[in-house]
Amino acid sequence: MKKFFKPLILLAAFVFSINASFADFSFNDMELKFAQVSDVHTSNSPDTAYKVLSHSKELLKSTIEDINKIKGLDFVVFTGDMTNEPTKELYKDFFTQLQKLNYPSILVLGNHDSSMSGENPNYMNKEVVHQILRMANPYQNYDNLYFAYSPAKDFRVIVLDTTIGIENSNGMLSEEQLSFLDNEINENQDKVILIFQHHPVIEPFKSEDHKLINAENYLAILKKYEKVPIAVFAGHYHAARIERKGNTIFVATPSLVTYPNAFRTVNVTNYNDRVIFNFNFYETKLKDVQELSKSGLIASAVFSGKPSDKNNEVMIRKGYVPKPKLTKEEKAEQKALIKAKKAELKAQREAEKQADKAYRKAIKDAKKAEKEEKKKLKEEGNN
Note whether 375 and 248 are same-domain residues. Answer: no
**The last residue of a domain, from among 317, 334, 356:** 317
Note whether 284 and 338 are same-domain residues. Answer: no
pLDDT at site 323:
64
pLDDT at site 47:
95
Residue 133 sits in a domain of what CATH number? Answer: 3.60.21.10
**The last residue of a domain, from among 317, 338, 370:** 317
**The last residue of a domain, from among 275, 300, 317:** 317
Stretch among 7-11, 96-100, 221-225, 275-279 having the lowest mean pLDDT: 7-11
CA-CA-CA-CA torsion sign (249, 255, 256, 258):
negative
Q: Is the pLDDT confidence value at 3 over 60?
A: no
**Phi and psi, residue 64, nearest 5°:** -65, -40
Residue 17 falls inside a structural domain: no
Are β-strands 147-149 and 155-159 bridged in parallel, bridged antiparallel, or unpaired? Answer: antiparallel
Q: Is the pLDDT confidence value at 367 over 80?
A: no
Reported as a single tens digit per residue, the pLDDT across 68-121 is 999 999 999 999 999 999 999 999 999 999 999 999 999 999 999 998 776 788
**Closest by Cα among 310, 227, 311, 315 to 268:** 315
Q: Is the pLDDT confidence value at 16 over 60?
A: no
Residue 141 falls inside a structural domain: yes
Note whether 236 and 378 are same-domain residues. Answer: no
Residue 7 falls inside a structural domain: no
Note whether 300 and 332 are same-domain residues. Answer: no
Note whether 305 and 332 are same-domain residues. Answer: no
Note whether 151 and 170 are same-domain residues. Answer: yes
Query: Kindly report the CA angle at 261 between 258 and 263, in degrees rounded to 5?
Result: 125
Q: What percent of the chain has pLDDT over 90?
A: 66
Domain of 168 in residue numbering reads as: 27-317
Note whether 273 and 129 are same-domain residues. Answer: yes
Note whether 206 and 114 are same-domain residues. Answer: yes
Residue 162 falls inside a structural domain: yes
* Average pLDDT score over the chain: 88
Note whether 253 and 377 are same-domain residues. Answer: no
Whether the bond between 7 and the residue before it is cis, its omega within 30 degrees of 0, is no
pTM over 0.85? The answer is no
Reported as a single tens digit per residue, the pLDDT across 249-296 is 999 999 999 999 999 999 999 999 999 999 999 999 999 999 999 998
Please, which pLDDT band fits residue 229 given cuts at 50, 70 and 90?
A: very high
Note whether 48 and 100 are same-domain residues. Answer: yes
User: Which DSSP string do the residues of 168-231 spell out, in sequence order?
Assistant: EEEE---HHHHHHHHHHHHHTTTSEEEEE-SS-SS-SS--TTTSBTTHHHHHHHHHHTTTS-EE
**Closest by Cα among 239, 227, 256, 79 to 163:** 79
Which helix H or strand E contains 355, and what residues bound it? helix 328-382
Residue 4 falls inside a structural domain: no
Pairwise pLDDT comparison (146 vs 318), residue with the higher score? 146
C-beta of residue 124 within 8 angstroms of C-beta of residue 132: yes
Number of structural domains in the chain: 2
Sequence-separated (6 or more) residues with CB below 8 Å from residue 89: 44
Rounded mean pLDDT, 19-30: 50
Residue 238 falls inside a structural domain: yes
Note whether 112 and 248 are same-domain residues. Answer: yes
Q: Is the pLDDT confidence value at 346 over 60?
A: yes
Residue 12 falls inside a structural domain: no
Note whether 195 and 334 are same-domain residues. Answer: no
